[in-house]
Amino acid sequence: MEMLVLSHVEKHFGEKQVLKDVTFSVPEHSVFGFAGQNGAGKTTAMKMVLGLLPAGGGEIFVNGMQVRYGNTPTNRFVGYLPDVPEFYSYMTPAEYLCFCGEIAGMPAKEIKNRCEELLCLVGLEKEHHRIKGFSRGMKQRLGVAQALFSRPKLIICDEPTSALDPAGRKELLDVLVSSKEQATVLFSTHILSDVERICDEIAVLHEGKIVLQGALEEVRKERKAAATELETERAEDAGKLLSAFPFLKAQGRGRLLLEETERLPEILHFLADADMPMLRIERREATLEDLYMEVVGK
C-alpha cells in the first residue's frame, strides 16, 4: 500500500513555477529519499504534504486520505522534522519528549515508556544534560524521536543530515533506517550518497520536475550500464591493451575503463594469451551521482 501519493502537483510563487507536474508515491514501511539541489522545491513539496501551503494543481493523499490546505486531519498520520528544528534548550531530551507526549494528550504511563523506547532508538538514552549543549547531530536525532512520538504512520524529515559531519550523518541515517519498523520514512537531501546508502525508493527533483524515480535498484538497471575498471601491473601494458581494444578508455597510470561490459570475455582471453599481469579488474556500478548527471545533462 502507498503511504503517500503526489499526483500531478503544481506550485507557483507569483510568476515563478516551483513544482511542475510532480508525481510519485511512497510505499508503506520504506525509507524514501527525496533528493535535489538547493532550490529544487523539496521543502515546498513537503509543506504541501503537511497542508501548510496551498497547491496550484494536482492532488496529495496521505494514508489514502486527501490533503486539504489549512484543514489537515491527514496530519494525524504524520510526524514532521523541519529543516531547522527548534527545541526548548533548557530541557533535557527526556523532558522534551515527555512534553511532546503531554501536548499530544497521551496518558502519563505511556509517555514514560515511549520516551525511554525512543531515546534508545536514537541513541540518546544516556544523555541527561540540557539540549543547550547538544551537537547538531544529537539535536537532529532528538528531532526524529519527536517526529515518531505519537506513532505516526509517516515521518517527514527535511534535510536531516545536511548540517552534519560525516559521523553525525552516519548516525542519523542509521536512526532513519531503524525508524522504518515504526513508520514510513520520507526524507529530503541534496546529498545523493546519503540516499544511496539507506533508501529503498527515491525521487529526484530538478528545477521542480521529477527526473528520476523508483526503487533504487530499478533506477540503476534502467539507466547507464555498469562499467569495468582494468588496471595493468606494468604501465606500458595499458597501451598494448588500448591498441588491441580501441573501445577502451584510458584513465591514466595503467588504468582503463570498459563501458561495453559484454566484451570483457574477449579481453580476458587476450590477457591470458599475452600472460599480462593485472593489478585489478573491477566492476563499477553507476552511482546515483552518475545517473543524476546523466538525466540533468551535465
Nearer to ligand ADP, 35 or 118 (CB): 35
Least separation, in Å, of the C-beta of 126 and ligand ADP?
34
- Which contacts of 134-137 are long-range, i.e. CB under 8 A and separated by 24 or more positions? 134/93, 135/168, 136/163, 136/164, 136/168, 137/164, 137/165, 137/167, 137/168, 137/169, 137/171, 137/172
Least separation, in Å, of the C-beta of 217 and ligand ADP?
25
Interacting residue with ligand ADP among 4, 6, 22, 40 (CB under 6 A)? 40
The rounded distance, in Å, linking the Cα atoms of 46 and 256 is 44
Tell the residue number behind the cell numbers 507569483, with chain if given. 14
Spatial neighbors of 287 by CB under 8 A, at least 6 apart, are: 192, 193, 196
- The site partner of 18 among ligand ADP, Mg ion, none (C-beta below 5 to 8 Å per kind) is ligand ADP
For ligand ADP, the binding residues in 15-34 under the rule CB under 6 A are 18
Nearest to 67 by CA among 86, 52, 82, 87: 52
Helix, strand or coil, per DSSP, at residue 90: coil
Q: Which amino acid is at 277?
A: P
- The site partner of 41 among ligand ADP, Mg ion, none (C-beta below 5 to 8 Å per kind) is ligand ADP
Closest residue by beta carbon to Mg ion: 43
Nearer to ligand ADP, 43 or 146 (CB): 43
Contact status: 41 vs ligand ADP (CB under 6 A): yes
Least separation, in Å, of the C-beta of 209 and ligand ADP?
12
What residue ranges bind ligand ADP (CB under 6 A)? 13, 18, 36, 38-44
